[in-house]
Amino acid sequence: MKKKTLSVFCLTMAMGLTMAGCSSKETTKASDITFASTEVTTTETTKEETTSASESSQDTSETGITINEEPSDFGDERNKFSKDRSTGEVKFSTRDREGKVVDDSIFSGHKVTMLNFFEPWCGPCVAEMPGLEKLSQSYESSDFQIIGFYAQYPSDDLDKEMDEVLAETKVTYPILFFTSELKDLTTEYVPTTVFVDENGNVITIENEDKLLVGSRSESDWKALIDKAIAQVSQ
């Protein structure tokens, strides 16, 4: 399959959203392609009753479902964290930029974890990162941490762009590669942010959506973080 370079533009969110975010010009991002292809395969299999189960399985594997598949060399490293793995709804296993395996056990010992889905080409994403870095340093580790996920929309220059962003923003909180295990926590826009507790359960902050779309100021994020910590501490 020929790799397509995604061009992107930033826009102001409608429908009451006042925060800035970025979206791809194309409406068919990786996860959309996955679902569309799966539906086609299922329909064809229904019409052709003589199609064997093995053929159906082969067709599915060729539709692009593994676009965001994790690296294939995880091996037994997955199980190193098993005793501390999340018991909640958010489960994942991926790698950081140095190649170290990181999974949902990273939630353990932190009352609240902020999952920030971003891309280095997204202006609003990058603009809020210095503020997020300050917030990550201003709370006790046992209370709060931030994890950034990127590469949901791969491109040829992504690693170079990420190097430049980290050099500019001085971010020290963990930056991990996106994994399709987390696709239900994302939208067509970046940044999208989700809060989870130490068991991996999503925290829906009072009067807020489960998925928080768009960038915010440092003070606005602090107010939401404080609310999240208060909720899980009750």
CATH number at residue 169: 3.40.30.10
Same domain, yes or no: 50 and 129: no
pTM score of the predicted model: 0.68
Instruction: Give the pairing type, strands 175-177 and 144-150.
Output: parallel
pLDDT tens per residue, range 192-228? 999 999 999 999 999 999 999 999 999 999 999 999 9
Residue 137 lies in a domain: yes
How many domains is the chain built from? Answer: 2
pLDDT tens per residue, range 17-44? 446 788 753 333 333 323 233 333 333 3
Same domain, yes or no: 122 and 45: no
pLDDT at 70: 39
Same domain, yes or no: 163 and 190: yes
Same domain, yes or no: 62 and 80: no
pLDDT tens per residue, range 182-198? 999 999 999 999 999 99
Domain range spanning residue 92? Answer: 75-233
* Domain end point (choices 67, 97, 116): 67
* Confidence band for 174, pLDDT divided at 50, 70 and 90: very high
Nearest-angstrom CA–CA distance, 61 and 89: 26
Q: Which is more confident, 53 or 91?
A: 91
Same domain, yes or no: 62 and 149: no
Same domain, yes or no: 103 and 182: yes
pLDDT tens per residue, range 83-107? 456 678 999 999 999 999 999 999 9
pLDDT tens per residue, range 141-156? 999 999 999 999 888 8
Same domain, yes or no: 84 and 52: no
Same domain, yes or no: 58 and 84: no
